[in-house]
Chain A
Amino acid sequence: MQVEIQNLSIAFPTASGMSLAVRSVSLTLGNEKLGIVGESGSGKSLTARSILKLLPRSARMTADKLTFDGIDVLSANENAMRAIRGKRAGLILQDPKYSLNPVMTAGEQIAEAWRTHRRGGKREAREAAIDLLAQVKINDPARVAAAYPHELSGGMGQRVMIAMMLAPDPELLIADEPTSALDATVQAEILRLMEDLVSRRGMALILISHDLPLVSHFCDRVAVMYAGRVVEELGAGELAQAKHPYTRGLLECMPALSHPKPRLPVMTRDPAWLV
């Protein structure tokens, strides 16, 4: 499995012409864990979703190359994309409160994902759903399977989401800020669970976040995005060698217990970065 992105741009129409949200981004991803870090509006989420062609309706996407394992995503229609979505690449969204269907039980939603990609009966699907819920370390999978999303906590909901996306056994998992909506205590737990499942199944992962140290902890490689561009790509262990002033700025804003600072610096943004 290999994802190749070359010179990807995504634009939205506004009153004063097209506004670029992603500007000529190039990335390649093999069977590895890639973190994409950036602030809100930096284009990290759009870049990742472009692989599944799940962009807002008004978005205009152009690229020299955008392939998923040799399949040309740029020219693929909805039908062709369905061979990739779910089956080969899953997507986990930020807040299970909104990303799970509120009028279907957790079990139904997982079973649906399972049945769509693996031919099988309803009963098999239901059993698979309960099994998957057990795999995401839910103690009482049968009860959770029968519950509606609003009856589940945020952490529970996100486990259901992970189980649902793992159901068709994909090769790539895209997690779009999977823990930002959760309580701090649950965040690490969910990330560890996800990392564990991904490693054990030998899957690739794209983890999108605004938390640079956290991402570097779980990923092999980190791409830092600012204003629609990838400003720096680093190995996870090389944060200290970051060259770009934006990355350095992000790291310096972190309070550290080992080196207390009297005052945290304020991020300065150089308009020259945009050129």
Chain B
Amino acid sequence: MSTTWREWLISETPASRAQAAWGRRYRLWCDFRANRLAMAGLIVAVAMVSVSLLAPVLAGFDPGAQNLTLRLARPSAAHWFGTDELGRDLFARVLFGGRVTLGMVVAVVVMVAPLGLLVGCIAGYMGGIVDRLLMRVTDVFLAFPRLILALAFVAAIKPGITSAIFAIVLTAWPPYARLARAETMSIRNADFIAAVRLTGASGPRIVLRHIIPLCLGSLVVRVTLDMSSIILTAAALGFLGMGAQPPSPEWGAMIATARRFILEQWWVPTIPGVAIFVASLAFNLLGDGLRDVLDPKQR
């Protein structure tokens, strides 16, 4: 049965549009699966998301529960990653920290991708003065290094997770707008769009049915690759005391408070560091693999 499914999918002469579409997806999946690093990224990313969601079940300890008699303990059977300076279980804190970090990532992506897509498509499709105005604004935001603008912005409001999320959104949207604009402009002038227009399609229909679907590939790649830099920016903000505030088990903030133990109890600041590294590497590998498959022209 499985072989016949495969044959149906990879058929060189699909009998229907659905078969052609699924065949194309199947082939992309085959290409992606062949990339072992990307598969590793996918597996790790999925595992991290599920472990974070299941944190209350898996952790075994309350991430905030202090035990001053057991400060800075080495990893053991009871405390897999050891404990921190207040005797809190590091394993539990890392798991719950995953929820904070991934929650921030999701919040940022949900805001940033539509915002960038909207600005970019409007600029690209309208052209003229609207385009120039929007692109100037984009340039201004691109003119700051991301972290520094985010720092200044958070400082202006109030350090904390919410302002960190808004600060990251504020610094992350311009590349999306640029990307969407470039795609829109190149597609807008393509012959097949002219053909669609000749058949009488309306402007919104062209944008929704023909332009946005074609932008999605590169957008997905961009989002996945960006997830790792969102994770890193969030952690850096936490580390510099401008993001999540202690006692929140955010990874960057955990490292900031445990920094002074680096020479003696080195695992206390290192373990959350490894968590950041693994999460961000997983998304980088995944994004890299997706780019090779979905967007081969910009490798």
A/B contact in complex, CB under 8 angstroms:
yes
**Residue ranges of A at the interface with B (Cβ–Cβ < 8 Å):** 15-16
Q: Roughly how many angstroms separate A179 CA and B93 CA in the complex, as a whole number? A: 69
Nearest opposing residue in chain A for B31, CB measure: A15
List 5 A-B pairs, Cβ < 8 Å: A15-B10, A15-B27, A15-B30, A16-B10, A16-B12
Tell me the minimal C-beta distance from B2 to chain A in angstroms: 16
Count class of interface residues, chain B: under 10
Contact mask B238-260 → A, CB, 8 Å, 1/0? 00000000000000000000000
Contact mask B1-43 → A, CB, 8 Å, 1/0? 0000000001010000000000000010010000000000000
Main secondary structure of the interface of B (DSSP, over half): helix
Interface residues of B in 53-103 (CB under 8 A from A): none
Tell me the minimal C-beta distance from A17 to chain B in angstroms: 10
Nearest opposing residue in chain A for B23, CB measure: A15
Question: Given the complex, which residues of B lie within 8 Å of A15, measured CB to CB?
Answer: 10, 27, 30
Question: Given the complex, which residues of A lie within 8 Å of B10, measured CB to CB?
Answer: 15-16
Question: Given the complex, which residues of A lie within 8 Å of B12, measured CB to CB?
Answer: 16
Nearest opposing residue in chain B for A16, CB measure: B10
Main secondary structure of the interface of A (DSSP, over half): loop
Tell me the minimal C-beta distance from B4 to chain A in angstroms: 14
Tell me the minimal C-beta distance from B20 to chain A in angstroms: 14
Closest 5 CB pairs of A and B: A16-B10, A15-B10, A15-B27, A15-B30, A16-B12
Nearest opposing residue in chain A for B11, CB measure: A16
Contact mask B122-165 → A, CB, 8 Å, 1/0? 00000000000000000000000000000000000000000000
Nearest opposing residue in chain A for B12, CB measure: A16
Question: Given the complex, which residues of B lie within 8 Å of A16, measured CB to CB?
Answer: 10, 12
Q: Roughly how many angstroms separate A54 CA and B160 CA in the complex, as a whole number? A: 60
Q: Roughly how many angstroms separate A15 CA and B27 CA in the complex, as a whole number? A: 8
Q: Roughly how many angstroms separate A15 CA and B23 CA in the complex, as a whole number? A: 12
Tell me the minimal C-beta distance from B29 to chain A in angstroms: 11
Q: Roughly how many angstroms separate A16 CA and B8 CA in the complex, as a whole number? A: 12
Tell me the minimal C-beta distance from B96 to chain A in angstroms: 44
Nearest opposing residue in chain A for B7, CB measure: A16
Q: Roughly how many angstroms separate A6 CA and B14 CA in the complex, as a whole number? A: 37
Q: Roughly how many angstroms separate A15 CA and B30 CA in the complex, as a whole number? A: 8
Tell me the minimal C-beta distance from A64 to chain B in angstroms: 30
Q: Roughly how many angstroms separate A16 CA and B10 CA in the complex, as a whole number? A: 8
Question: Given the complex, which residues of A lie within 8 Å of B27, measured CB to CB?
Answer: 15
Q: Roughly how many angstroms separate A89 CA and B49 CA in the complex, as a whole number? A: 59
Tell me the minimal C-beta distance from A80 to chain B in angstroms: 32
Q: Roughly how many angstroms separate A209 CA and B27 CA in the complex, as a whole number? A: 34
Tell me the minimal C-beta distance from B100 to chain A in angstroms: 42
Tell me the minimal C-beta distance from B174 to chain A in angstroms: 31
Tell me the minimal C-beta distance from A16 to chain B in angstroms: 6
Tell me the minimal C-beta distance from B216 to chain A in angstroms: 23
Nearest opposing residue in chain A for B27, CB measure: A15
Tell me the minimal C-beta distance from A133 to chain B in angstroms: 36
Tell me the minimal C-beta distance from B293 to chain A in angstroms: 13
Q: Roughly how many angstroms separate A16 CA and B12 CA in the complex, as a whole number? A: 9
Q: Roughly how many angstroms separate A157 CA and B188 CA in the complex, as a whole number? A: 33
Q: Roughly how many angstroms separate A16 CA and B13 CA in the complex, as a whole number? A: 13
Tell me the minimal C-beta distance from A234 to chain B in angstroms: 33
Q: Roughly how many angstroms separate A16 CA and B30 CA in the complex, as a whole number? A: 11
Q: Roughly how many angstroms separate A15 CA and B6 CA in the complex, as a whole number? A: 11
Q: Roughly how many angstroms separate A15 CA and B12 CA in the complex, as a whole number? A: 11
Q: Roughly how many angstroms separate A254 CA and B67 CA in the complex, as a whole number? A: 92
Tell me the minimal C-beta distance from B221 to chain A in angstroms: 22
Tell me the minimal C-beta distance from A269 to chain B in angstroms: 16
Question: Given the complex, which residues of A lie within 8 Å of B30, measured CB to CB?
Answer: 15
Nearest opposing residue in chain A for B26, CB measure: A15
Nearest opposing residue in chain A for B34, CB measure: A15
Tell me the minimal C-beta distance from B8 to chain A in angstroms: 13
Q: Roughly how many angstroms separate A210 CA and B146 CA in the complex, as a whole number? A: 55
Tell me the minimal C-beta distance from A57 to chain B in angstroms: 15
Tell me the minimal C-beta distance from B38 to chain A in angstroms: 17
Nearest opposing residue in chain A for B30, CB measure: A15
Q: Roughly how many angstroms separate A58 CA and B27 CA in the complex, as a whole number? A: 19
Tell me the minimal C-beta distance from B299 to chain A in angstroms: 15
Q: Roughly how many angstroms separate A15 CA and B7 CA in the complex, as a whole number? A: 11
